[in-house]
């Protein structure tokens, strides 16, 4: 089996896609990596869209649940920038994020900024994922 281990973008906690981590999580199984990344490519934009839709409602708990789900998936795959951004969304919309009516404008601004950062992180990571999947497709397994 061919093991392609490198990192797209940066190493460390804010890697767009830490392929060493992904390889460790999947035991180096490239077919499993493809399957998981394909699923993430489809699912992550859907989750972000749902979060944007929920941001204008009173369903903050549901939004936080989606952010937490995305954060867990991102950590498992090594998409740490998405995980960090999703964690910020959780904090921005969490139960302790807004205490009274005077803080509503700050809450909305903070929440909107967190969602925008998450959208950007997902878009950037999807480019990295697409590049990695193209690289996998171009290289025959040995």
Q: What's the CA gap between 68 and 73, in Å, rounded?
A: 9
Burial of 56 (0-12, 13-18, 19+ CB in 10 A): exposed
pLDDT digits (tens, 9 = 90+) for 77-131: 999 999 999 999 999 998 776 544 455 545 568 889 999 999 999 999 999 899 8
Could you tell me the pTM of the whole model?
0.81
Q: What percent of the chain has pLDDT over 90?
A: 59
* 48 pLDDT higher than 60: yes
HSE (side-chain half, CA atoms, 13 Å) at 48:
25
Q: What's the CA gap between 121 and 29, in Å, rounded?
A: 26
């Amino acid at each position: 089996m061919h093991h392609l281990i490198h990192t797209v973008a940066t190493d460390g906690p804010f890697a767009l896609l830490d392929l060493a981590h992904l390889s460790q999580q999947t035991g180096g199984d490239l077919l499993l990596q493809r399957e998981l990344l394909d699923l993430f490519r489809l699912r992550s934009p859907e989750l972000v869209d749902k979060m944007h839709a929920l941001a204008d409602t009173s369903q903050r708990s549901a939004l936080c649940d989606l952010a937490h789900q995305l954060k867990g998936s991102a950590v498992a795959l090594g998409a740490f920038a998405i995980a960090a951004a999703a964690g910020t969304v959780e904090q921005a919309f969490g139960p302790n994020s807004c205490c009274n009516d005077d803080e509503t404008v700050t809450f909305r601004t903070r929440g909107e900024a967190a969602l925008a950062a998450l959208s950007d992180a997902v878009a950037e990571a999807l480019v990295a994922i697409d590049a990695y999947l193209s690289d996998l497709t171009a290289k025959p397994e040995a």
